[in-house]
Structure 1
Amino acid sequence: MEWTDILGLVAGICTTVAVVPQIKKAWQTKKVEDVSPVMFSILIIGVFLWTVYGITKKDMPIIVTNGVSLALNGVMLYLMLRYRQK
């Protein structure tokens, strides 16, 4: 593995795990009113496109980190839709 692959993995891990505290808080408190569903939707579209880009380039760090980020942000969007006050 080249140093650029390691750099890509570390960068991707940092941006991927950034949403984990928000998911944990939403799961525990069941409160999501302060979180924007539009922002998370745009973020999901972005990481989906990054994943597709990684697949076309056959770039494993981009594919893996953005694929995981896509799943985590999808979980957060689900929690937001589930717990949002009507």
Structure 2
Amino acid sequence: MDSANMIGFLAGALTTVSFLPQIVKVLKTRDTRSLSVSMYGLFTLGVFLWLVYGWIVHSPPVIFYNALTFLLSAALLAAKIRWH
């Protein structure tokens, strides 16, 4: 693996892991009042577009971590809509 992909995987891992505390909190408390539907909606759409971009340019780190982040952000968005 080249250094650019290693940096991409590290960056993706760090930014994706940053979602975990919020997800754990929401799952434990079901309190989504502090989450913004518009922010998570736009963010989820943006992450999806990054995923498409990664697919187009054949970038494994972009594909992998944006797919994972898309699932996490979509889950938070769904929780916000369901439990609000």
TM-score (norm 2): 0.96
Q: Which residue of 2 aligns with 1:79?
A: 79
What is the CA distance between 1:18 and its match in structure 2? 1.1
Q: Distance between the aligned counterparts of 2:19 and 2:36, measured in 1?
A: 13
Shift of 1:81: 1.1
Q: Does 1:43 align with 2:51?
A: no
Distance (Å, rounded) in 1 between the aligned partners of 2:21 and 2:33: 16
Answer yes or no: is 1:9 the counterpart of 2:9.
Answer: yes
> For residues 42 and 17 of structure 1, what CA distance do their matches in structure 2 show?
19
Amino acid at match of 1:30: R
| SS across alignment from 1:31 | coil
Unaligned runs of 5+ in 2: none
- Give 1:6 deviation, angstroms: 0.6
**1:22, 1:76 → 2: CA distance?**
8
Q: Counterparts of 2:31 and 2:7 in 1: how far apart (Å)?
A: 35
Offset of 1:39 from its aligned partner? 0.4
Q: TM-score, normalised by structure 1?
A: 0.94
Give the CA deviation at 1:74.
Answer: 0.7
4+ residue segments displaced more than 4 Å = none
Count how many residue pairs are aligned between Structure 1 and Structure 2: 84
Question: RMSD value over aligned CA atoms?
Answer: 0.7
2:64 partner letter: V
